[in-house]
Amino acid sequence: MQWAAIQITASSNKEDNYRKISHWVEKAVQAGAKNIVLPEYWNWLGRAEDKIKIAETMEGQSIQFIQKLAKKFFCRIVAGSIAEANGKKPPYNTSVTVHPDGKLGPIYRKIHLFDAVVGQGYVESTTTSAGEKIVVENLRETKLGLAICYDVRFPELFRSMASRRAEIFAIPANFTAVTGPPHWEVLIRARAIENQCFVVASDQTGLTGAGWEAHGHSMIVDPWGEILAEAKREEGIIIASLDFEKLKQVRRKMPVHEHRKM
């Protein structure tokens, strides 16, 4: 099963971002991928204080755009994340899987918000509402767990998804260039190894419309922690074939889920 991660430098111009995503989705499908993960805030990255003005519902133009792409190319797209309108409250940071028929899977709203004094500092909770629900979607051939960026630092979330029989984690991200070099690869591989799951992590890259540098280096990692594909800093796609027989073998030889005591 071929999975792809798309890596872009998103701006505050939605139409420009749509064009980039359309281009790379087509390239990914041409290369054989039928499952594609987009980065966090793929549709819009601008000033945090503008987020509530540009937020959309899940019936809005950005998700409709992904539905059209999924139907056109008959592929499954994890639609990264968008700012989801939340009435008069700050929007959610929301991810959803769009299926080849255009139908939406369960909606995941980012649980852990990035309130951290690193680099220039960022307090996501001032402009974003936190979600509460863990999402593991039952696909025809596997189970997919959804997380977003800062969530990757909370292993209990991923263990909860693994306990719900997730075999793949999709992690859209906008990881900073400050934390990326020491932490990104370590965290992605750790979540794969400790849960014996595949991880498809799609990151923003370069100087985005948010005004700070994103790390790039999108990755696809197998349940043994081996990197199957990795981007560098340029925009583009990475693709890997996920071998579920290897996943079963890893879990059989080292049955950590059965050995859990807590």
175-205 burial code (b ≥16 CB/10 A, e <16): bbbebbeebbbebbbbbbbebbbbbbbbbbb
Q: How many C-beta atoms surround the C-beta of residue 122 within 10 A?
A: 19
Which pLDDT value is given to residue 262?
87
pLDDT of residue 208: 96
Read off the CATH number of the domain in which 242 is found: 3.60.110.10
Q: What distance lies between CA 1 and its chain's CA centroid?
A: 18
The 10s digit of each residue's pLDDT in 26-83 is 999 999 999 999 999 999 999 999 999 999 999 999 999 999 999 999 999 999 999 9
Residue 260 lies in a domain: no
Q: Is the pLDDT of residue 240 over 80?
A: yes
What is the β-pairing status of strands 168-173 and 227-230? unpaired
pLDDT attached to residue 239: 98
Residue 206: predicted pLDDT: 98
Quick: pLDDT tens for 109-165. Answer: 999 999 987 766 789 999 999 999 999 999 999 999 999 999 999 999 999 999 999
86 band by pLDDT with thresholds 50, 70 and 90: very high
User: Residue 202: its pLDDT value, please?
Assistant: 98
Looking at the structure of the chain, the number of domains it has is: 1
Answer yes or no: is 258 within a domain: no
State which residues form the domain around 180.
2-253
Rounded to the nearest 5 degrees, what angle is found at the Cα of 216, between the Cα atoms of 214 and 217?
150
Tell me which residues are annotated as active site: 40, 110, 149
Residue 240 lies in a domain: yes
Total-model pTM: 0.97
Give pLDDT, residue 119: 67
Distance CA 1, CA 142 (A): 10
In a domain, 262, yes or no: no
Segment 238-247 mean pLDDT: 98
Helix H or strand E segment including 245: helix 244-253
Residue 259 lies in a domain: no
In this predicted model, what pLDDT tens digit does every residue of 187-239 receive, in sequence order?
999 999 999 999 999 999 999 999 999 999 999 999 999 999 999 999 999 99
For 240, how many CA atoms within 13 A lie in the half-sphere containing its CB?
Answer: 22
163 in a domain, yes or no? yes
